[in-house]
Structure 1
């Protein structure tokens, strides 16, 4: 597995396969030349592109990648494909939750639904790794306000009930930041620690400024349950609305009351 970084987004795409055999690209936001060069270094032939979700930084280089490697299978969840087509074309099939993708004789990945950040978000599990897209990062988690999102509850369930059911030694390779392991996230991820009752919830009154339907910033009085470092060097805040519902927002949107 080789990670290809995307400096402008603090992001990652991946090349995974066996030397001298076929390989798959996980996401298509990294520089197309670097992706194809990584495959060539290991004598691998690209055979498929697997997409975790539709956001621009995960699909924007797809057409250029296909121009370099030729027409291969490009797989994405059916809920993500119409949204992804805003940024790129070339999708050939949809992946379902629980489906096993085989590339050649040696590479086998299972698609696992992990909604929250988007409705059709998929993680890919195999060969001691889990490619989590934007669901779980090293010591952080995804937001639930990006285009195509679902809910905080979905995200929490995707992490606690799906990803954290994997063995502790499983290597977490995400769409942003450095690799981790399931065991490390279980012990050190601040959100996981609160969700599992290891650390207490906070209850500090704060103000969050969010855009309304017209794009104008509106202040809201909420409770701050947790503020933790995010993958981009900023912070991510778990807030609780007056009706008791939970949300995740960038720390830059929150100020002390």
Structure 2
């Protein structure tokens, strides 16, 4: 399997092209990053792209779909020698899908990142990360919707959210404020944009994952 990545300089969103072999068949995964590096890979590999795999419909992941002019897929499929399994991972968005390609890599969209997770519905994000993605073989490469590649094995061991959800790290107890409301900071992690990502719990028991810029410590 051949993979090339492009990343948007401002949104830090990734788009990929994946091919079965040189001279073979390819698919794009998302389209929110500059297309030039991906088209260069297509030419160098002499492959024929046939589909766009869309992880979710947010603008920073679909911006160039029209330019590619290919059918958009969100389901399982085979394309040449590529075997693609689509897995629903709602939470960041209702339409979020992860794609496992050739049992080698999983494209996680905005659900799981290196050291972080996506914002959105707390219960859905936790389920999609712990019960869906991390139930896959841990040797899989993780190719996320933003910034750096990782592996499921690394995130199982080192991701701050995952470590607390696994019970190997205690929940935090630091007091903070979010949107002017008192809360407890359960987890603080690095995030793909160089800031932070936080899991906070409000006094009424609500658990929320928010961008670090919203947290007053």
Fold match, TM over 0.5? yes
Q: 1 CA distance for matches of 2:167 and 2:146?
A: 26
Q: Is the 8 A contact 2:100 2:107 kept in 1?
A: yes
**What's the TM-score once normalised by structure 1's chain length?**
0.80
> What residue number does 1:185 align with?
155
Query: Any idea what the Cα deviations from partners look like across 1:60-87, whole Å, max 9, x if unmatched?
Result: 1111222xxxxx32124xxxxxxxxxxx
Q: 1 CA distance for matches of 2:132 and 2:64?
A: 29
Q: 2 CA distance for matches of 1:184 and 1:113?
A: 22
Q: 2 CA distance for matches of 1:63 and 1:32?
A: 12
Instruction: List runs of 5+ in structure 2 lacking aligned partners.
Output: none
Q: Is the 8 A contact 1:234 1:251 kept in 2?
A: yes
Q: 1 CA distance for matches of 2:92 and 2:22?
A: 33
Q: Is the 8 A contact 2:107 2:144 kept in 1?
A: yes
> What residue number does 1:147 align with?
none
Instruction: List runs of 5+ in structure 1 lacking aligned partners.
Output: 67-71, 77-94, 145-150, 210-218
> What residue number does 1:140 align with?
116
Q: 1 CA distance for matches of 2:34 and 2:205?
A: 43
Kindly state the Cα deviation for residue 6 of structure 1 after the two structures are TM-superposed: 1.4
> What residue number does 2:130 align with?
160
Q: 2 CA distance for matches of 1:120 and 1:241?
A: 27
> What residue number does 1:82 align with?
none
> What residue number does 2:141 align with?
171
Structure 2 residue corresponding to 1:110, chosen from 85, 94, 113: 85
**CA RMSD after TM alignment:** 1.1
> What residue number does 1:251 align with?
212
> What residue number does 1:47 align with?
50
Q: Is the 8 A contact 2:85 2:99 kept in 1?
A: yes
Q: 2 CA distance for matches of 1:26 and 1:166?
A: 20
> What residue number does 2:77 align with?
101
